[in-house]
Copies of this chain bind each other. A is one copy, B any other.
Amino acid sequence: MVTGERIAEILEGYDDLVMATVCSHSSLQIFHGARQEGFRTLGIAIGQQPKFYDAFPRARPDDFLIVDAYEDLPRHAEELVDMGAVAVPHGSFVEYLGAKAFVDLEVPTFGNRRVIGWESDRDKQRYWLSQAGVDMPAKIDNPDAIDHPVFVKYYGAKGGRGAFIAKNYDDFLEHVDKSQPYIIQEYVVGTRYYLHFFYSPLGKEGYRLSKGTLEVLGVDRRDESNIDEMYKLGSQEGLKKLGVYPTFVVTGNIPVVLRESLLPKAMEMGEKVVEASLDLFGGMIGPFCLETIVTDQLQFKVFEISSRIVAGTNLFVAGSPYSELVEPGMSTGRRIARELRRAEETGTLLKVVS
We find that the number of chain A residues with CB closer than 8 angstroms to chain B is: 93
A254: nearest residue on chain B (CB-CB)? B256
Mark A37-62 against chain B: 1 for CB-CB distance below 8 A, else 0.
00000000000001110111111000
- For the complex, give the distance between the alpha carbons of A242 and B187 in Å: 12
- Stretch of A69-77, A172-180, A221-229 with 4 or more beta carbons under 8 angstroms from chain B: A221-229
* A112 contacts the other chain (CB 8 A): no
- For the complex, give the distance between the alpha carbons of A27 and B264 in Å: 13
Contact of A260 among B25, B51, B214, B244 (CB under 8 A): B25
Which residues from B are CB-within-8-Å of A214?
A: 55
Contact of A255 among B228, B242, B255, B311 (CB under 8 A): B255
- Asked whether B233 lies within 8 Å of A57 as measured between CB atoms, the reply is no
* A190 contacts the other chain (CB 8 A): yes
- Asked whether B24 lies within 8 Å of A260 as measured between CB atoms, the reply is yes
Given contacts A27-B260, A55-B216, A253-B257, 20 further A-B contacts (CB under 8 A): A51-B207, A51-B264, A55-B207, A56-B322, A56-B325, A58-B325, A92-B261, A148-B242, A149-B233, A189-B225, A190-B251, A193-B251, A223-B256, A251-B298, A252-B258, A254-B256, A257-B315, A260-B314, A314-B321, A318-B319
A residues with a Cβ closer than 8 A to B are: 24-28, 32, 50-52, 54-59, 92, 148-149, 159, 161, 165, 167, 187, 189-193, 205-208, 214-216, 219, 221, 223-238, 242, 244, 246-247, 249-264, 267, 294-298, 311, 314-319, 321-322, 324-328
29 contacts between A and B (CB under 8 A): A27-B260, A52-B207, A55-B267, A57-B206, A58-B326, A58-B327, A59-B325, A149-B242, A165-B232, A167-B234, A190-B229, A191-B224, A191-B226, A191-B251, A219-B252, A234-B236, A234-B237, A235-B238, A236-B238, A249-B296, A249-B297, A251-B259, A251-B298, A255-B255, A255-B315, A315-B321, A316-B321, A317-B321, A317-B324
